[in-house]
A = this chain, B = another copy of it.
Amino acid sequence: MTAPRAKGFAFRVLASSESGHARAAVFSTPHAEVETPTFMPVGTQGSVKGLTAEDVASTGAQIMLGNTYHLWLRPGTDVISGLGGLRGFTRWPHAMLTDSGGFQAFSLGGHLPRPAPASGPAPSRAPAPRKSLVTLDEEGFTFRSHLDGARHHLSPEVAVRVQGKIGADIQMQLDVCPPGDSPRDVVEAAVSRTSRWARRALATERPEGQALFGIVQGACFSDLRRAHAAELAALEPSFDGLALGGFSVGEPIPKMYATLHEVAHALDPERPRYLMGVGTPRDLLEAIDAGVDMFDCVLPTRNARNGQALTRFGRVIIKQARYKDDARPVDPDCTCPCCAGGYARAYLRHLYLAGEMTVLRLLTLHNLHWYGELVRGARAAIRDGSWPAYKARTLADLDEENKVAC
């Protein structure tokens, strides 16, 4: 047991795989325990789209992610803190993590909302391209709300204070995430600034019992990543966990895997390791093998809303005509409410084509349940010594992923 950093926060490794760097662990927050490897469903606006908190818990998820950018702008920190913080607001009784808001401030906050089109005939020329209005300097980000165009400033200190009011169990520091194809000097500059911002975040007061994670940058330059991981691990007061940011931002997947295998196990083994915004089931297996403990990604929930059910044996694209009168559930062996409830592919297809929202909830439940099964299986396999076989078998199944599902 590592000495706790934030009050009420502890992390303990239960088992490690003899081959590779996979590990099963548990961390506790003042409100909840989380077994790792774990997958965090994304509740951008305080709701995993289509699901209630009870639904999310039914998939086996023990921790959920909220997006600070969205929650800060709407409904605002006063409303959320007045309802007892994000857990009270959303009625999610387990652990909650918030990101810093930097990623969305950069991607969504760079543009004013489009003005409503003027009445009268359409202009004959194309509209002028929208001008980016986000600025990034040593102080932080200045951006415009994508909702109403209002100017906001996001600094390392503001990120801690906003997340403090939102009140998740785990905060993330504000970082600088360069595009995946950035040259080395740009990545080095991002790493340096992220380190300076790490110090500023750690120096900012936050509510007792809230953990704070640092973010390792460095793109696919493994030496930069390892040096940055060591630098962040050495800071005092210390981070409660370390994250790998800046993956899955345009770099080739094999390069991401290679870098993960060189880097993840070099992050301080006495703290949880979180790979941000990644990924596919294959990504999770590779990263767990590389030593990662925590994941989040919109893939299972977004794909569900696009009518894609993820299964052991490939993707079921529910609108396809082949399912027109298919009486089988998405996956006959699955125990999720959609499959165990006996909803036939033919019924789900009908609902999807008819625009009935219930199918989006059912497929979201199915996909998150499948991610839950994947990490539950990984935890069990690591603890009973069968991780290499579990990984190999699951990857072999996933090799069929591009085949049409049966």
A91 touches which of B50, B70, B342 (Cβ 8 Å): B342
Is there contact, CB below 8 Å, between A46 and B350? yes
A124 to chain B, nearest CB (A): 9
Cα distance, A342 to B84, chains bound together (Å): 12
A5 within 8 A of partner (CB): no
A45 within 8 A of partner (CB): yes
Residues of B within 8 A of A356 (CB): 45-47, 49
Residues of B within 8 A of A361 (CB): 50, 52, 357, 361
Cα distance, A54 to B341, chains bound together (Å): 9
Is there contact, CB below 8 Å, between A78 and B325? yes
Cα distance, A52 to B364, chains bound together (Å): 13
Is there contact, CB below 8 Å, between A89 and B347? yes
Is there contact, CB below 8 Å, between B74 and A354? yes
Is there contact, CB below 8 Å, between B50 and A358? yes
A51 within 8 A of partner (CB): yes
Interface bracket on A:
35 or more
Cα distance, A354 to B280, chains bound together (Å): 27
Cα distance, A89 to B91, chains bound together (Å): 33
Is there contact, CB below 8 Å, between B52 and A327? no
Is there contact, CB below 8 Å, between A358 and B49? yes
A82 within 8 A of partner (CB): yes
A232 within 8 A of partner (CB): no
Residues of B within 8 A of A53 (CB): 341
Cα distance, A311 to B50, chains bound together (Å): 24
CB-CB under 8 A for A357 and B360, given A82-B327, A344-B83, A347-B46: yes
Q: Mark A350-384, 1 if CB is under 8 A from B, else 0.
A: 11011011101110000000000000000000000
Is there contact, CB below 8 Å, between A347 and B122? no
Cα distance, A28 to B262, chains bound together (Å): 68
CB-CB under 8 A for A343 and B91, given A122-B122, A358-B49: yes
A79 within 8 A of partner (CB): yes
A4 within 8 A of partner (CB): no
Is there contact, CB below 8 Å, between B49 and A357? yes
Cα distance, A50 to B55, chains bound together (Å): 14
A112 to chain B, nearest CB (A): 20
Cα distance, A327 to B82, chains bound together (Å): 8
Interface residues of A (CB under 8 A from B): 45-47, 49-54, 70, 74-75, 78-79, 82-83, 89-91, 121-122, 324-325, 327, 337, 341-344, 346-347, 349-351, 353-354, 356-358, 360-362
Interchain residue pairs A-B with the least CB separation, the first 4: A75-B350, A45-B354, A47-B356, A47-B358
Name 22 A/B residue pairs within 8 A (Cβ), A-sorted. Answer: A45-B350, A46-B350, A47-B354, A51-B358, A52-B343, A52-B362, A53-B341, A54-B341, A75-B324, A75-B353, A79-B350, A83-B344, A83-B347, A89-B344, A89-B347, A89-B350, A91-B343, A91-B347, A121-B121, A121-B122, A357-B361, A361-B361
